Structure 1
Amino acid sequence: MPDACPICATEAASLWHTETRNPLAGREFWCCPQCHAVFVPALFHPDAAEERAFYQTHENSPTDAGYRRFLSRTLEAVLPFLQPNARGLDFGSGPGPTLYLMFAEHGYSCENYDLYFAHDPAKLASSYDFITATEVFEHLRAPREILATLFACLNPGGVLAIMTQKPTTRDAFARWQYILDPTHVVFYRDTTFDWISQYFAAPIVHRGRDVVVFQKPR
């Protein structure tokens, strides 16, 4: 039996793809029939040391104009929902935190949290008007639990912005370079985000190519 879906906990997933390319040849990807998330069973997950080492190879920097352009898609999706003095959290800020500086340039305070590079559990017990997670959710082994934590941290009317690349067709998935990252273990489709929206009673107020913004009811 495959693992239960890490989003909706459905246990009737079907094998969607078996990777043939090295170094991940043999890795399996299963598709949930309920929320249509595609996920990698725990058997194929890297351990924490391997995951951290892989993240340390990332060369993202606040001085990298290309990285800033990439993050600006999340920034621009969130800004219309912010009131003066809004306070935020960049969840999964990584080894080169940058988005918090971009919000500061627009007059907003933003904290950083990262399991490996800015681990401060108190940050997840505070409250915020906005939370961002850019290229984070594809790495999470227990995304529904993390979503519950983040929505609990949001003030009423606050927004959660998730940036992640979405799979399209099954054939395209088999050729997709994105799945060759060993730390990418969950892939979200529009129907997955619809399920999340309904489950957490948080309407989707922005849906872009790779950015989705949820709003917590007031």
Structure 2
Amino acid sequence: MMTPLLSCPLCGIGNPADYHRDARRDYWQCRTCELVFVPPDQRLAPDDELAVYDQHQNSPHDSGYRRFLSRLFTPLRERLMPGARGLDFGAGPGPTLSVMFEEAGHPMAIYDPFYAPDISVLRDTYDFITATEVVEHLFEPGRELERLAACLPSAGWLGLMTKRVTSREAFADWHYILDPTHVCFFSESTFHWLGEHLGMRVEFPASDVVLLQKLSQ
């Protein structure tokens, strides 16, 4: 099969490799940053995407959801100064991680393109930014992650939660690719590329969590 005229949505490089194909979608892998991605013509339309998100019933009153978010919350909080100010990017219809940080003494802003679309918050500066189960949904992860990194000072933290690609064999049977709103899939190698690209140090405190700290300029 010929490689289509696609550019990686993370690094912008063309000529991706055929990675996987199922009955619903094709998946390509960037030869540079190793991101696995769905081609643009196989993404959901905005209304269909929103219909999927509207089915989510996350809430700060759900103890199970709080336990899930603690995989990112706990290691990130341990690295923050008291009173550090944060932004929860992609907060969704039931913002919860921001509530957890506020309860711990950290003032928070939230942004979500569907549920909290005040773009002005992305022109501010924050000590830390979180995005839980967000980056796999981004159509333009390179542009969005560069924008978030620009909102951080030196030593600021970007905390991401997303399940990681481990192998082609595991990918074929992976439940994560069944969600039609998941269009970008990161591996440890992809995050190492991202850290170098953004000038950030990379840590992996859990199998689905990555922390990136902005280095001094």
* Normalised TM-score (structure 1): 0.95
Q: Which runs of 5+ in 1 are unaligned?
A: none
| Matched residue, 2:21 | 18
RMSD value over aligned CA atoms?
1.1
Post-superposition shift, 1:80?
1.9
Structure 1 residue 205, shift from structure 2 partner: 3.8
- Distance in 2 (CA, whole Å) between partners of 1:102 and 1:168 is 30
Q: Secondary structure at the match of 2:156?
A: strand
The residue correspondences of 1:115-154 to structure 2 (distance < 5 A) are 115-154=113-152
Count of residue correspondences: 213
In structure 1, the partner of 2:196 is 198
Deviation of 1:206 after TM superposition, in Å, equals 4.2
Matched, 1:76 2:74: yes
**SS of alignment partner, residue 34 of structure 2:** coil
Query: Matched residue of 2:159: which SS?
Result: strand
| Identity of matched residues, % | 46
Residue type of the alignment partner of 2:37: F
Question: Which portions of structure 1, spanning 4 or more consecutive aligned residues, are displaced by more than 6 angstroms?
Answer: none
Letter in 2 for 1:200: L
One-letter identity of the residue aligned with 1:13: P
Q: Which residue number in structure 1 is paired with residue 29 of structure 2?
A: 31
- 1:32 CA drift (Å): 1.2
Task: Decide which of 34, 50, 53 is 1:52's aligned counterpart.
Answer: 50
**Structure 2: which 5+ runs fail to align?**
none
Match of 2:8 among 1, 5, 8: 5
- The CA distance in 1 between the partners of 2:103 and 2:83, in whole Å, is 13
Deviations 1:8-43 (A, max 9, x none): 1221211111113xxxx2x10001111111000001
Deviates more, 1:186-195 or 1:30-39: 30-39
